[in-house]
Amino acid sequence: MRRAILLGLGGLMLAGAAPAFSGDPAAGRKVANMCRTCHGLDGFARIPIAPHIGGEPESYLQRQLRAFKSGARRHEMMTVVASGLSERQMDDVSAWYAAHKATASLPAGTDPANAPEACTACHGVDGIALFEDAPNLAGETNIYIDTQLKAFKRGKRTHEIMNGIAEAMSDEEIRAAADWYASVEFKVDAATK
Amino acid sequence: MKQIIALAVAASFFAGGAFAQSGQVPDNLEKLSGFKTTGVTEFTFIEQGGDYAVGIEKTLERISLPDGFKIELYAVVPDARHMAVGPQGIVTFVGTRKDKVWSVTDRNKDRVADEVKDFAPSLTFSIPNGPCFSKDGFLYIAEQNRVLLFPAAEFFYESPDVAAFNLVAKGDLIPPDEESFNHTARVCRIGPDGKIYISLGQPFNVAPADKLDLYNKWGIGGMIRLNLDGTGREVYTYGIRNSVGHDFHPATGELWFTDNQVDGMGDDIPPGELNRQTAAGQNFGHPWYGGGDTRTNEYKGEEPPADTVMPVVATVAHAADLGMHFYTGRMFPEKYKHAIFSAQHGSWNRTTPVGARVMVTFIDDQGNAAIEPFAEGWLDEATGEYLGRPVDVAQLPDGSILVSDDLAGALYRISYTK
């Protein structure tokens, strides 16, 4: 029941014209100068090791930035970046990237039935997340997804749902899931200013 | 002798056409090692020319070079990273930080590539950043956690099924628990001693103390070397943070390498590095030093190793010095003989971006080195936007050089006419 409600809200969020942000997207655009070399100004990643963050749910981005800042999640570059951001800046830049619209489409001839079963309930068949707590996976570099799943599997990254799911996957299943979402055609439409 | 037999076996197999169809197996490497086919026949071809190429050519009009040099688009190659030019001059292999290795062929020798397609499409690669060739035509590809070797790759790459063997099997390059995506762009080169030298970046900004023993044992945060039959692995270099480019001086045979330095200490420190190694086992100072003689905050109170070797050249902070190559060609003026061409990828977190250019380093008789920009203009200083990010430099048989760019997804050729 809860899931159905969340799904409904998620649908509204993604389809809605002007979602309300807790941060200020215009102020976040300036903060994004620190992010653009890797994540792009519109959140379409410019290097393979960085994920696409354009059109990601605002609350997901806020949580990840705070996790990098607190040390709960670690990354060689992001730990350095987040350590210098204020609460306000984290909210603003999250709002900036959330304000863009992410769209995904399966490559022609792909059978949706082959999508990785363990992932689709939250991340969607096409990698556009169905819950605020889940990131989009569409079009990410397969090695990025592979790396995150292995980090969950080995306990280097923690999440109440993801650790259990990744532990149940073999390295081959992890790579297959990564390949599936990496093959999705992904696009970010920039927010209007 | 062993190599000759392998070649002969491979040649007779392909000539004989003994292709046996069979079902999918998880690891096609097993089949390719047994000179069997995998059933994979499809190449991915990358369109050359067209609108995409026109866009890149427009950027190249901005690039400034010393008099007499010019830069042209050589090939469109997605995610192009480190390069290995075949010793026969037939094909250039290009690694990526994704899952493909590209083969780039200039069939009509007009110095522009005609065909770009994926290499060994039946194999599943993970971060195959680093290809390198031995003089006798064996291609090595250093991945995240494996090194493969391909005998006579310049001849067999035209087939989707190419003979392939483990030099270092999956999971044996580093402990799988230590795998990462960042600092995992491996580079390999064959040294004058006939051993393969492979850089292994450590995954942290500053390596933590509780990892140092493990890392030193494996050569993580260092460079390893091994024989071309996979035996004799040893750690050759210690105290590296993340080296993504090395080459051997053509006259002295000494190993030179770039190293990327610590982030988060300020816009102007610590410097990037170009290093020279004169003996096996030397230590280059990470994590005690963040770059040059700048001490890291994390190890401020600790005594660094007494024999720490300082860089020969301190480069501008955060410019990300990556691939490098000693020039041995005859096309460029005499002063470039044995100079180092190297690529600066460009900074990712400096307030004012810096880098995205090709540098040249001249070394005098005393071994003193001086670095200066050679090709620049990929950074639009008005907007701070990168129009391209150079990664590696390689030399073609005619003495011109190739520069790879993983942002634009291209190889450029720089040539000289008097």
User: Vertex A47, ends B262 and B119: CA angle to 5°?
Assistant: 115
Asked whether residue A54 is domain-assigned, the answer is yes
> Which strands form B255-259's sheet, in the order they lie side by side?
B246-248, B255-259, B272-277, B313-315
- Residue A19 has what pLDDT? 57
- Residue A192 has what pLDDT? 61
Which position has the higher pLDDT, B133 or A132? B133
Token pair belonging to B331:
């096309």
Structural domain boundaries, residue A132:
22-189
CATH number, domain containing residue A126: 1.10.760.10
Q: Which of A49, A78, A142 to mutate to test the interface with B (most CBs of B within 10 A)?
A: A49
Please report how many Cα atoms fall inside a 13 Å half-sphere around the Cα of residue B49, on the Cβ side.
3
> What is the rounded CA–CA span in Å between residue A92 and residue A80?
18
Q: Is the pLDDT of residue A90 over 70?
A: yes
CATH 2.120.10.30 at B45-416, yes or no: yes
All residues of chain B having their beta carbon less than 8 Å from the beta carbon of residue A46 are 386, 407
- Residue A163 has what pLDDT? 97
A150 touches chain B (CB under 8 A): yes
Domain count, chain A: 1
B182 contacts A49? CB cut-off 8 A: yes
Give the minimum alpha-carbon distance from B177 to chain A in angstroms, rounded to a whole number. 8
Contact A45, A52 (CB under 8 A): yes
DSSP 8-state class, residue A157: S
Q: Which tens digits make up the pLDDT trace of B318-359?
A: 999 999 999 999 999 999 999 999 999 999 989 999 999 999
Q: Is the pLDDT of residue B12 over 80?
A: no
- Residue B365 has what pLDDT? 87
Q: Which tens digits make up the pLDDT trace of B176-187?
A: 999 999 999 999
B383 touches chain A (CB under 8 A): no
Contact B221, B259 (CB under 8 A): no
A46 vs B127, B205, B407: nearest CB = B407
Q: Is the pLDDT of residue B77 over 90?
A: yes
Task: State which residue of chain A sits closest to B182, comparing Cα positions.
Answer: A49
Q: Which tens digits make up the pLDDT trace of B254-272?
A: 999 999 999 999 999 999 9
Average pLDDT estimate for B206-227: 98
Q: ipTM value of the model?
A: 0.87
Tokens 């907007």 correspond to what residue? Answer: B383
Mean residue pLDDT of chain B comes to 92
User: What HEC string does B329-377 produce?
Assistant: CCCCCHHHCCCEEEEECCCCCCCCCCCCEEEEEEECCCCCEEEEEEEEC
- Residue B23 has what pLDDT? 35
B263 vs A80, A150, A175: nearest CB = A80
Collect all residues with Cβ–Cβ distance below 8 Å to A130 and sequence separation of at least 6: A6, A7, A10, A121, A122, A123, A124
> What is the rounded CA–CA span in Å between residue A67 and residue A82?
9
* Region of poorest pLDDT, from A130-139, B4-13, B113-122, B344-353: B4-13
All residues of chain B having their beta carbon less than 8 Å from the beta carbon of residue A150 are 179
Asked whether residue A15 is domain-assigned, the answer is no
Q: Which tens digits make up the pLDDT trace of A91-115?
A: 999 999 999 999 999 999 999 999 9
Which position has the higher pLDDT, B38 or A113? A113
